[in-house]
Amino acid sequence: MNSVTVRVPAKVNLQLAVGPLRDDGYHDLVNVFHAVSIFDEVTATAETGMSVRVEGESADQVPEDDDNLAIQAALALARHAGRSYGVNLIIRKSIPVAGGMAGGSADAAAALVACNELWGLGLPMDDLLEIAADLGSDVPFALLGGTAVGTGRGERLTPLEVAGTFHWVFALADGGLSTATVYAECDRMREAMGEKVAWPRAGESLLAALRAGDAKALGAELTNDLQPAAVMLRRSLARTLDAGREQGALGSLVSGSGPTCAFLAESEAHAGELAASLKSAGVARDLIIAHGPVPGPTVV
């Protein structure tokens, strides 16, 4: 086999509970991940060296050297296998860059799956998950897909049972936000308010809403502890979130570290109406309709 193409979804966080800052610079989380139908595609082709090319949505903002998370994934996999494999990766991006939807992590997960296949390694999921955790906190979930709760840095995963499909509208913003900067702003705001940071816990009502496939109940339970920090760093997000609520979204929140905002709709038709109203309100660079949960990386 000379070439393998893998399609990989974006994520939104349905609950992001951020615990105290740890000594290693990370935060313990309860992170309810949900994979949605916005996809990047990664094609891996056998080659002697390691190279990457990026095409599509905001490709110019993605590095085409060893800083690219997909190349780092291929290098980590070759190291794990103990061989000096080569690969050319072509990444076709649709997931917004630095948008809080884990696009880089998705590409890394896709590269792990594609190279595992291309190089005939046959490594099991558990090995790939271990390599993924070293690449970034979101990468293990990007390998898994579906809906799952992540603890620790977000890398320790338990898949969740979900009934049916949820319909979403995503409002894209101009420019990205740095994940590390948003966490640091969250710490700063908490300290300024003298807030005692609680140990993060999964929302029982949120898990029940997922099990029941109850969009209305889910909408009321969406929470993101990074949202105040993201809004502080990008004030315009307050207006975007307000517009979603005014236009009848069941729930509105910043996706992960932002600046993409996520709005839950009642149905596919309602998502279409909501996207049209938000477009007219002029509160986003672009709007994308998607559904979840969807499976993780898939060879196409």
Ligand X SMILES: Nc1ncnc2c1ncn2[C@@H]1O[C@H](COP(=O)(O)OP(=O)(O)OP(=O)(O)O)[C@@H](O)[C@H]1O
Q: Which is nearer to ligand X, 98 or 261 (CB)?
A: 98
Check whether 97 is labelled as a binding-site residue.
yes
Between CA 255 and CA 165 the distance in angstroms is: 18
Closest residue to ligand X: CB criterion? 104
| Percent helix / strand / coil, the chain, rounded to 5 | 35, 30, 35
Q: Which is nearer to ligand CDM, 143 or 275 (CB)?
A: 143
| C-beta separation of 182 from 67 below 8 A | no
Between CA 38 and CA 212 the distance in angstroms is: 24
Q: Which helix (H) or strand (E) holds 252?
A: strand 251-254
Q: Which is nearer to ligand X, 116 or 137 (CB)?
A: 137
Binding residues for ligand X, per CB under 6 A?
61-63, 67-70, 91, 97-105, 107, 138, 176, 179, 256-257
279 catalytic, yes or no?
no
13 binds, among ligand X, ligand CDM, none (CB under 5 to 8 A by kind): ligand CDM
Binding residues for ligand CDM, per CB under 6 A?
13, 16, 25-27, 29, 31, 102, 105, 136-138, 153-154, 179-180, 183, 256-257
Minimum separation from the CB atom of position 101 to ligand X (A): 5
93 catalytic, yes or no?
no
Between CA 138 and CA 203 the distance in angstroms is: 20
Between CA 215 and CA 236 the distance in angstroms is: 27
Check whether 104 is labelled as a binding-site residue.
yes
103 binds, among ligand CDM, ligand X, none (CB under 5 to 8 A by kind): ligand X
3-state secondary structure 8-35: EEEEEEEEEEEEEECCCCCEEEEEEEEE
Q: Residues with catalytic annotation?
A: 11, 138
* Binding site members for ATP: 96-106
